[in-house]
Structure 1
Amino acid sequence: MIFENQCPLKKRTKAGGVMPVRITTLVENSQGEHRALKNEHGLSFFIEKDNHSILFDSGQSANFIHNAGQLRLDMTAIDHVVLSHGHYDHSGGLRSLLQVHSGFELTLGQGFFDEKYAFYNGSYEFIGNNFNEAFLRDSGVSYAFVDSPITEIVEGVWVITGFDRRHMDEVISPRFVLRKSDGFDPDQFSDEVLVAVDSPRGIIILLGCSHPGMKNMIDTVRSLLNRPVYAVLGGTHLVEASRESLEKSISYLADDSFKVLGVSHCTGEKAMDILRASNCRYFHNRTGSSLYVE
C-alpha cells in the first residue's frame, strides 16, 4: 500500500538536495491488504534514505523478517538499527535479525536494559527485552547508547531523546514499573527514543510508543531541528489517555502543518476512529503500509 494524501492538493516545492525517502511498516498490530504478511502486537519500520537502510524497532518476533522477504526488502542491507525502548513488542525481533545479519550499528537509549514490568490482573509481569547487554557483546554487535538529546546516525536521520515534558496532561500509566533490588519504581521511560528523518517536504517523525507523551516528543523535535514536521508515524499510546488528554491530542494533530498522520499500534481504536472521521491527513498505518516522499 502506497499512502496518498487525500486532502486537496496544493502546490509543493522540494527542499534543495534532499533525496526521496521510503518508509515501510514491516509489522504492526493489524493486517494490511497483503494477506501473506504476518501481523502481531508490535511495530517495525524499514527506512530507505539515500544509500542507507535503517530499521526502527523489530516487533516481538521474526515476523518482520518474513514480511521483508515478501516485500523484497533486503535485511542484509541494514546499516543501522534503532530500538525505541526496552519493551518486548519493539525489541523482541532483534535476536532473529542477528541470525540473518549483524553488520549494523545498534543505537539504544540510556536505561534500555532496565527491568521493565507492567501490572496486570493483580500481579507484575515482565514485558522487557529477551536479551541483555552481554548477549550483544557475545554476538559481536556494534552498539551504543545515545548520550545527548540529538544524535545524527547518518546524514539527515536523527535519534532524539530526553524529551521536554511540558504537556501536563500526558501522564505515564502507573502500571508501568521498573524492578529494583528493593521493589518496583515508576517507569519514567528515560530510555525512549524516536527517529526523525529529513525528507524533501519536511521532517518525518517515527514514534515507537510515545510513553513520554506524543506532544512532548513532537515539540522536542520541532525545537531541536527547527524544521516543519511533514509526517508522524507510529505509536502514540493514546489507548490509555484520559478523555481530556485524548481531546487535546486529537486537537494537536489537527494542525494543518502535519500533512501525513500514520499513527496506529498503541494509539488505540477509539483515537484512530476519531482521526479517521475528523482528519483527512490520517491513514491507518498497517502491516505492509509504505510512505514514499519525494
Structure 2
Amino acid sequence: MIKITTLIEDRPDENNEMVCEHGLSLYIEAGDKKILFDTGQTGAFIQNADKLNKDLAAVDYVMISHGHYDHSGGFRKLAETVPSISNLIVGAEFFELKYKTIGENQYKFVGTSFGEEYLEEQHISRLKIEEEIFSLSEDIMLFHKFEKHTKYETLKDKFYIKSEEVFFPDLFLDEVVMGIKTDKGLVVIAGCSHVGIVNILKTIEKRTNMPIYAVIGGTHLIDADAARINQTINDFKDMNIQVVAVSHCTGEVGTEMMKNAFQDKFILNNTGKVIEF
C-alpha cells in the first residue's frame, strides 16, 4: 500500500482549514517506510501535519528534492520541532549556493537556509546521493543525474550557482526524484522537475525498464508556453501514464491543460490531498 498525503502546496485545501504556501511537502507511506518528501518554504506544513494526523516523529527519512527555499525552507523548523528527525537525504550537490536573477547583474539568494554545519550541530546524519539510482528499500528508488531526452525541455536561464564569487548557470544536478514500485508500474514523485519532467521520466524508464504508472508533484511548467505543455501531455500519453497528480510549479495554465487532457486520470494535488495506490 502506498499513501501520499500533501502536507502543503500552493493551493488551499477544499475546506480552507490549512495553511498553503508556494512550496511542497508530501508525507509518503510506502510499505513499512514513512518518508517526508520536501519541507515547504516556512515550516507551516508541520501544523498541517497535525491536522491531518500525520506523525512527523515517525518519519524514517526526510528527503529534499533540491536546494531551493520552497522545498527546503521548513527543515530548520522541523528539526527544532521534532528532535527525533535524524536522517536527511539530498543530492550530492544540494548545498551549492543557489541564486536567481532579479535584474541585470542582480542576484537573489533562493537556496537552502541551512548547511552541513547545522546538521552536525543537530546530530542529523545526511546521505548525499551520488549514484544515478539508489535503492532505499526493495520497492523505493531514488534517481539522480538525469539525461537529456527532449529538445523542448530547456533550463531557465534565470537560475545560478555561486562559487568563489562567480555565478554559473544552475544545471540542477542536485535534483533527486523518488520512484516506488507497484504491480502496475512506478509511482514517480518529483519536487520541481527543473531539468524537465519528461527528461526525468524517460531517464527512469531507461534505467529501470519499468513503465511509469503515476506522476506526482511539480513539473515546472509554470513559465512554459502552450506548445511545450502540449508536447509534455503528448509524451505522458505516449508513456501511457495512468495517474497525473501534478501541482506546485506546474502553474495554473499547465494544471488546467493537464486536467482537460487527462480527465479522470488527473488529480489536483492541492494541500491536504490524500492519494492511495
Fold shared per TM-score above 0.5: yes
Q: Give the match for residue 10 of structure 2.
A: 29
1:214 aligns with 2:197: yes
- The answer as to whether partners of 1:169 and 1:244 remain within 8 angstroms in 2 is no
Q: TM-score, normalised by structure 1?
A: 0.89
1:120 aligns with 2:79: no
Indicate the larger mover: 239-248 or 58-67.
239-248
Letter in 2 for 1:209: C
Distance 1:181 1:44 in 2: 32
Q: Give the match for residue 148 of structure 2.
A: 165
SS at structure 1 position matched to 2:136: strand
1:109 aligns with 2:83: no
Change (3 A) 1:179 1:71: same
- The answer as to whether partners of 1:78 and 1:104 remain within 8 angstroms in 2 is no
Q: TM-score, normalised by structure 2?
A: 0.95
Shift of 1:213: 0.9
Q: Give the match for residue 90 of structure 1.
A: 71
What CA deviation, in whole Å up to 9, does each residue of 1:77-101 have, x standing for no partner? 0001111000000001111111213
1:226 aligns with 2:193: no
Q: Give the match for residue 249 of structure 1.
A: 232
- The answer as to whether partners of 2:41 and 2:72 remain within 8 angstroms in 1 is yes
Higher relative contact order (CA 8 A, sep 6+): 1
Distance 2:169 2:159 in 1: 6
1:284 aligns with 2:268: yes
- The answer as to whether partners of 2:190 and 2:218 remain within 8 angstroms in 1 is yes
- The answer as to whether partners of 1:75 and 1:101 remain within 8 angstroms in 2 is no
1:51 aligns with 2:51: no
Letter in 2 for 1:90: H
1:142 aligns with 2:152: no
Letter in 2 for 1:36: E
Shift of 1:121: 4.3
RMSD: 1.4
Distance 2:14 2:90 in 1: 32
SS at structure 2 position matched to 1:216: helix
Distance 1:251 1:61 in 2: 35
Distance 1:101 1:208 in 2: 25
Percent of residue pairs identical = 36
Shift of 1:180: 2.2
Task: Tell me the number of residue pairs that the alignment of Structure 1 and Structure 2 aligns.
Answer: 274
- The answer as to whether partners of 1:261 and 1:282 remain within 8 angstroms in 2 is yes
Letter in 2 for 1:110: A
Shift of 1:253: 2.2
From 183, 199, 202, give the equivalent of 2:166. Answer: 183
Change (3 A) 1:62 1:182: closer
Distance 1:119 1:265 in 2: 21
What CA deviation, in whole Å up to 9, does each residue of 1:3-62 have, x standing for no partner? xxxxxxxxxxxxxxxxx1101111100002142211000001111012211011010112
From 231, 250, 255, give the equivalent of 1:267. Answer: 250
Shift of 1:199: 2.5
